Amino acid sequence: MLKRTHSCQALRPGNIGETVVLAGWVNTYRDHSKALVFIDLRDREGLTQIVFDTADVPTEVVEAAQGLRREDVIAVRGTVRERGGGANPKLATGEIEVLASELEILNKAETPPILPDDHEAEKMNEEIRLKNRYLDLRRPKMQRILETRSRVAQFTRAFFHDRNFLEIETPLLIKSTPEGARDFVVPSRLEAGDWYALPQSPQLFKQILMIAGCERYIQLPKCLRDEDPRADRQAEFTQIDLEMSFVDRDDVLETMGGFAAALWQEMLGVDVGEIPRMTWREAMETYGIDRPDLRFGLEISDISDLAAKTEFGVFTSALEKKSPMGSGVVKAFRVPGGAERLTRKMTDGYSEWIKLFGAGGVPTTKCNGEGFESGVARFVEPIADELMERLGCEKGDTVFFTADTWEVATKAIGELRIKVARDLELIDEDAWKFVWVVDFPMFELDVESNRWVALHHPFTAPNPGQEGLLETDPGNCISAGYDLVCNGSEIGGGSIRIHRPEVQQKVFDLIGLTPEEAEMKFGFLLRALKHGAPPHGGIAFGLDRLIMHLVGTDNIRDVIAFPKTQSGGDLMIDAPGPIDDEQMKELHVRTVPTS
RNA sequence: GGGGCGGUAGCUCAAUUGGUUAGAGUACCGGCCUGUCACGCCGGUGGUUGCGGGUUCGAGUCCCGUCCGCCUCGCCA
């Protein structure tokens, strides 16, 4: 076999005259006659044009080259020379070509079902790409994504290694725990009727590692959650997971903010600056979401007090609603220049669309500089001046309202804010807006069971000084949790953990775990906490989402080499699939038809 | 579990109101071409219209069911 001397990206005019060997796949062939054939040879790095010319090499070689087809695997020996027909500015190697003297066909390829061309893939049915993933991954774009992912992993390990973190592996076969996402489970062969669960994250193991005196832990673990996928969510995904002992919240935020900034600098040459912090309350009130996109304005205001002065039934009946978060609210934001840019069709559309989020509609009006006209103008007439003042309205603005319980109105208007920004292209696509969201509530009330549910997870500590509220007013207890948000997408979250067993026991009580259940599910943690648990905290970043940002895709499947479909299938290997009766028997399981 | 969109040649798509033998580009095969570069020109092969029923003289088109893919609500401590 001819051994290659250079990659298909390596050769430049400086190599002219050298004898080289290249190997790769036939990207395109252009045969001009029996006497002249061009091949663009592709490897992981790039493309190089090979020319077969009877003027310079034996006829047999050129004839063999004439039979080459796309995706054949070949090696070529030849001489680097300046291109006879002029440079191709589209190629990095476009100033040179390799005049072939020897051709070795390493493997003929059947006609490929899809071609690894970026320009083809853009419009290709994703199903067919996933079925033929080995061909799809040959595309330059996919190769670049895989390379980016590898570089990020390398950078991450080096960054934390330099800061004295230990990379420690945690088990995949663990046990199912209550709350959280649905577990993937694995039947035990040796213990009939018992099941392992695959980890949703290494959460408890990394806390145990802190108790075990490891002080600083890092891992890039696979995490598995058996929930329905989304464009930015897979059942199987990877985290950058870490935990630190003897730290408070600021220590973790500084470490991870520094990491994010260093990563963006390394990968994109972007200076993200000091990452600001925002409380959860502020995020919810001003942006209607706990992961605010700060690349655009359209800030939301609460106008409940003004709405109470109107006789608009939509407002007044909403204000009378009750929910765990208190009385109903009326919220509003103004769209500068919206009167001109938002059509009636669009605003009507929003009223329909908003029902997805449980709101009844989107009352709308326009500001004419003096007051309001059209839409719900006559209802807000009594509060026109105050409303203009509150929202900072100017002539030509459109104002959108939502009115409902705090939960519904807040979420609905937050989603509307994003939709309007997208529709009007108000989002600066080149911006990087990071923000730490902090001071989450410890719990939210689940109305159905009338029980507290941990907003983050039940190992999250209350903020310093808040512990007393666990006893007196859990609903107002603020946690030491934090999320890092980038351009409206949550890329990581974590918390300072509970390190005192009595506090952990109290939180288990509050979320309705009996002492017996707590012992059965988390006894190991409670025992460990009693044997000298240091104060500790940590965070996990979603590696896949990080890569999505770095390579500029909104499809998580693009950044995973072998992703799964919306129904959890792998189209290439056709998983999941049945197992033998013998396997079932060994595992003590049997399937029953669902009714 | 709910809602929406889609499935026609290897690939990307078209096919009037239900109406002749389901077309085009590309790929593939054959021929031609000595400077192309997503080469070009000429000719050709290629179809279980996702699958199963139904309505009809006649179904890619209409109806019912089902499978698959994507987006989304719920879900995702």
pLDDT of residue A451: 84
**Section A237-263 average pLDDT:** 97
Supply the DSSP symbol for A108: -
Band of pLDDT at residue A279, cut at 50, 70 and 90: very high
- Asked which of A97-101, A116-120, A152-156 is least confident by mean pLDDT, the reply is A116-120
In whole angstroms, B76 C1' to A31 CA is 54
For the cut 90, the answer to whether the pLDDT of residue A178 exceeds it is no
Confidence band (pLDDT; 50, 70, 90) for A120? confident
Decide: CB of A49 under 7 A of nucleic strand B. Answer: yes
Mean pLDDT (whole number) for A527-542: 97
Query: Does the C-beta of A236 come within 7 A of strand B?
Result: no
Report DSSP letters for A484-528, one per residue. Answer: EEETTEEEEEEEEBP-SHHHHHHHHHHTT--HHHHHHHHHHHHHH
Residue–nucleotide distance: A566 CA to B17 C1' (Å): 38
CA of A500 to C1' of B52 (A): 62
Whether nucleic acid strand B comes within 7 Å of the CB of A247, the answer is: no
Q: Residue A291 — very low, low, confident or very high, per pLDDT cuts 50/70/90?
A: very high
Q: Which nucleotide, over all strands, has the C1' atom closest to the CA of A228?
A: B75
Q: Exposure of A293 by Cβ count < 10 A (0-12 exposed, 13-18 middle, 19+ buried)?
A: buried
- For the segment 164-203 of chain A, residues whose CB is within 7 A of strand B: 177, 179-182, 200-201, 203
Tokens of A125: 């049915």
Give the burial string for A400-411 (b: 16+ CB within 10 Å, else e).
Answer: bbbbbbbbbbbb
User: Closest nt to A358 (CA→C1')?
Assistant: B73
Cis check for the bond before A501: say yes or no (omega within 30 of 0): no
Question: CA–C1' distance A454–B4 (Å)?
Answer: 33
Distance A125 CA to B23 C1' (A): 21
Q: What is the pLDDT of residue A179?
A: 78
Distance A130 CA to B20 C1' (A): 40
Please name the residue that has the structure tokens 């600066």: A428
Is residue A219's beta carbon less than 7 angstroms from any atom in nucleic acid strand B?
no
User: What CA–CA distance (Å, rounded) separates A160 from A182?
Assistant: 31
Give the pLDDT score at A317.
Answer: 93
A450: buried, middle or exposed (CB in 10 Å: 19+, 13-18, 0-12)? exposed
> pLDDT of A26-48, one tens digit each?
999 999 988 999 999 999 999 99
The percentage of chain A sitting over the pLDDT mark of 70, rounded to a whole number, equals 100
A480: confidence class by pLDDT, cuts 50, 70, 90: very high
CA–C1' distance A95–B45 (Å)? 39
Q: Which protein residue has its CA closest to C1' of B77?
A: A180
Is the shortest CB-to-strand distance from A457 to strand B under 7 Å?
yes
Report whether pLDDT(A85) > 90. no
Q: Name the packing angle between helices A515-529 and A501-510 (round to 10°).
A: 160
| Paired tokens of A79 | 């001489």
Bases of chain B within 7 A of a CB of the protein: 1, 10-13, 27-29, 32-40, 68-77
Q: 3-state DSSP helix/strand/coil percent for chain A, to nearest 5? A: 35, 25, 40
Are A36 and A53 a contacting pair, CB within 8 Å? yes
Whole-number distance in Å between A141 CA and B50 C1': 30
> Can you give the distance from the CA of residue A154 to the C1' of nucleotide B20 in angstroms?
65
| Residue A595 pLDDT exceeds 70 | no
Each residue of A553-585: pLDDT tens digit? 999 999 999 999 999 999 999 999 999 999 999
Within A 91-130, residues with CB less than 7 Å from strand B: 91, 94, 97, 111, 113-115, 117, 119-120, 123-128, 130
pLDDT at A177: 85
First to last CA, chain A: 60
Nucleotide B20 C1' to residue A112 CA (A):
36
pLDDT tens column, A390-426: 999 999 999 999 999 999 999 999 999 999 999 999 9
What is the rounded CA–CA span in Å between residue A46 and residue A249? 45
Q: CA of A187: how far to CAs of A46, A183, A197, A587, A593, in Å?
A: 46, 12, 9, 6, 18
Write the pLDDT tens digit of every residue in A138-151.
999 999 999 999 99
Beta partners for residue A138, in sequence order: none
Beta bridge partners of A332: A301, A401
Average pLDDT value for residue range A274-289: 96
Longest Cα–Cα distance of chain A, Å, equals 94
Helix A203-211 vs helix A515-529: angle between axes, to the nearest 10 degrees? 40
Separation of CA A572 and C1' B3 in angstroms? 29
pLDDT at A591: 86
Q: Considering only CA atoms, which residue is closest to the C1' of nucleotide B35?
A: A85
Residues of chain A with pLDDT > 90, as a percent, come to: 88
User: Which 332-361 residues of chain A approach strand B with CB closer than 7 Å?
Assistant: 356-357
Is nucleic acid strand B under 7 Å from A70's C-beta?
Answer: yes
A35 touches strand B (CB under 7 A): yes
> For residues A203 and A459, is the Cβ–Cβ distance under 8 A?
yes
- As a whole number of angstroms, the distance between CA A42 and CA A109 comes to 14
A136 CA to B32 C1' in angstroms comes to: 34
Residues A468-496 have a mean pLDDT of 95
Q: How far is the CA of A27 from the C1' of B7 (A)?
A: 29
- Could you give the CA distance from residue A42 to residue A26 in angstroms, rounded to a whole number? 6
**What are the phi and psi torsion angles at A15 (to 5°)?**
-95, 0
pLDDT, mean over chain A: 94
* DSSP per residue, A426-490: -S-TT---EEEEE--BSEEEETTTTEEEESS-TTBPBPTT-TTHHHH-GGGPBBSEEEEEETTEE
pLDDT higher than threshold 80 for residue A447: no
Q: How confident is the model at residue A448 (pLDDT cuts 50, 70, 90)?
A: confident
- How wide is the angle at C-alpha A462 spanned by C-alphas A496 and A488, nearest 5°? 65
Q: Which nt sits closest to A180, CA to C1'?
A: B77
Joined together, the tokens standing for residue A563 give: 């992703």
What is this structure's pTM? Answer: 0.94
- What the block records as the tokens of A249 is 């919240």
Query: C1' nearest to CA of A67: which nucleotide?
Result: B29
Asked if the interface predicted TM-score (ipTM) of this complex is over 0.90, the answer is yes
* Mean pLDDT, rounded, for A424-443: 95
